[in-house]
Structure formats: structure tokens, C-alpha cells
């Protein structure tokens, strides 16, 4: 899904934000997965440190890469020095603001991305009987961000993209939304497009 460009509009917004952060030297991708966003930041002249709890994900992310420091690590115990990072990417993954505050410099920033209210709305519709609410709200996550960070900027990045059956199958396998869903008797034939909706929060730790 990433290689097919489904999240490219979000990647472009991150690139735009980093382009305007001229004071960022050391950047960490917290919960980097297969390194998609770490690689996007490669050509920005940052020292990039990226970690994920999954060893398999880090093996994929680090394949053929020499200029990014990939690590297997828990977000509750980040193996980086105090006040050593200028920016943290925290993209569709949990946050640990205590650890974030520890490793960030005094002027450091957090770029956090959370699902927007229309994220995967087509999938949510067909499994609505198995959800508490068909409509999604990210307000609790945003409130938590604001509790720990001064909100500097908030950008919405939304795009609806045509999807084929193989891409839909991959999306169903990768998205946490579907992890506890009984897939029997669910008809996906009506889904021909998918909405990828993200809210980008830029903040400075309090």
C-alpha cells in the first residue's frame, strides 16, 4: 500500500513541514515500521534514528541502507541520550511523551499523525455492525497531544484513491481496524476506492 502511493499525500505534507524546520539536525522516527517515512526524510540532511518494536520490520527497513540508524526498541525505553533529538516523527503509532520529552532538545518538535475522521470510511461502512461507532473520532488522542505539547500547526491530509482487489486485500491485512473483525460473510465487491485521511499535529513539548 505504501509503495503503491496510498500514503504519498501524507508523506508530501511531512516533507513540507521538514523543509520549514531548518534547525532539525537529529531526527527520530518513533515506531518506524518498515521505514517508509524514515526513507522520505533521508535527503533532508538529517541524522536519522529510527526504531520499532518489531525485529522483522527493522530487518526490512534497514535492508541496503547505510545512512539511517535503525534499532529494535520499545517506545518506553528509547536508547537515545537526553536532549539529543531535534524532531520526533510519530506516525500512526502510540506515543510516550515522557520519553519524548527526555530525548528532545529544548526547542525540539514532535510531528504526530493520527487518523482523520474519514480514514478508511469505506471499510468502516461494511463492518459497521461489528464496530461500536461507524464514525471515527480522534479527539481523545488530540486532547492527549495538547496536554503534553504546545500545538504549533495542524494540517489535514486526505485523499481518496482507486483500489483493486489485491490492494484491498493488503490493506485489510495491514490495518489495525480489521484485526479483531470477523471477515466471514463480508462482501468487499462494492469497494472500489479507499479514503486515506490523516491529521498532522506539529507541537513543542511542554
- Range with the poorest average pLDDT among 8-12, 38-42, 57-61, 157-161: 38-42
More confident call, 65 vs 37: 37
- Does residue 19 fall inside a structural domain? yes
Q: Give tens-digit pLDDT for 148-180.
A: 999 999 999 999 999 998 888 888 888 877 777
Is the pLDDT score of 135 beyond 90?
A: no
The answer as to whether 167 is a domain residue is no
Q: What is the CATH number of the domain that holds 88?
A: 3.40.50.150
Q: What is the mean pLDDT of residues 35-63?
A: 91
- Cell (9 digits) for 126: 461494511
Domain count, the chain: 1
Whether the per-residue pLDDT at 12 is higher than 80: the answer is: yes
Instruction: Please report the beta strands in 56-103, taking only residues with DSSP state E, as ranges in sequence order.
Output: 68-72, 85-91
Per the structure, the complete domain to which residue 16 belongs is given by 8-120+133-158+197-205
Enclosing H/E stretch for 153 = strand 149-162
User: 3-class SS at 143?
Assistant: helix
Is 169 a member of any domain? no
pLDDT tens-digit map of 76-99: 999 999 999 999 999 999 999 999
- Asked if residue 128 belongs to a domain, the reply is no
Domain-located, residue 183? no
Higher pLDDT, 180 or 103: 103
Q: In this structure, what C-alpha cell is assigned to residue 84?
A: 539529543
- pLDDT band for position 101 (cuts 50, 70, 90): very high
Residue 62 covered by a domain = yes
Residue 180 counted as domain residue? no
What's the CA gap between 111 and 201, in Å, rounded? 6
**Residue 182's pLDDT band (boundaries 50, 70, 90)?**
confident
Percent of the chain with pLDDT over 90: 67
pLDDT band at 193 (very low <50, low <70, confident <90, very high): very high
Question: Is 171 inside a domain boundary?
Answer: no
Q: What are the backbone dihedrals phi and psi of residue 14, each rounded to the nearest 5 degrees, phi first?
A: -65, -45
Coil, helix or strand at residue 1: coil
Amino acid at each position: 500500500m505504501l509503495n503503491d502511493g496510498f500514503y504519498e499525500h501524507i508523506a508530501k505534507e511531512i516533507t513540507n513541514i521538514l523543509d520549514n524546520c531548518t534547525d532539525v539536525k537529529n531526527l527520530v522516527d518513533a515506531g518506524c515500521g518498515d521505514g517508509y517515512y524514515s526513507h522520505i526524510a533521508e535527503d533532508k540532511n538529517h541524522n536519522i534514528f529510527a526504531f520499532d518494536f518489531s525485529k522483522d520490520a527493522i530487518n526490512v527497513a534497514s535492508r541496503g541502507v547505510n545512512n539511517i540508524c535503525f534499532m529494535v526498541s520499545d517506545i518506553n525505553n528509547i536508547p537515545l541520550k537526553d536532549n539529543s533529538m531535534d524532531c520526533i516523527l510519530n506516525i500512526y503509532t502510540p506515543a510516550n511523551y515522557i520519553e519524548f520529552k527526555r530525548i528532545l532538545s529544548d526547542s525540539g518538535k514532535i510531528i504526530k499523525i493520527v487518523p482523520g475522521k474519514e480514514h478508511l470510511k469505506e471499510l468502516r461502512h461494511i463492518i459497521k455492525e461489528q464496530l461500536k461507532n461507524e464514525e471515527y473520532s480522534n479527539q481523545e488522542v488530540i486532547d492527549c497531544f495538547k496536554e503534553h505539547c504546545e500545538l504549533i500547526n495542524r494540517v489535514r491530509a486526505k485523499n481518496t484513491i482507486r483500489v483493486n482487489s489485491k490492494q484491498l486485500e493488503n490493506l485489510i491485512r495491514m490495518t489495525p481496524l480489521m484485526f479483531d473483525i470477523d471477515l466471514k460473510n463480508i462482501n468487499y465487491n462494492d469497494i472500489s476506492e479507499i479514503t486515506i485521511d490523516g491529521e498532522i499535529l506539529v507541537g513543542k513539548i511542554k
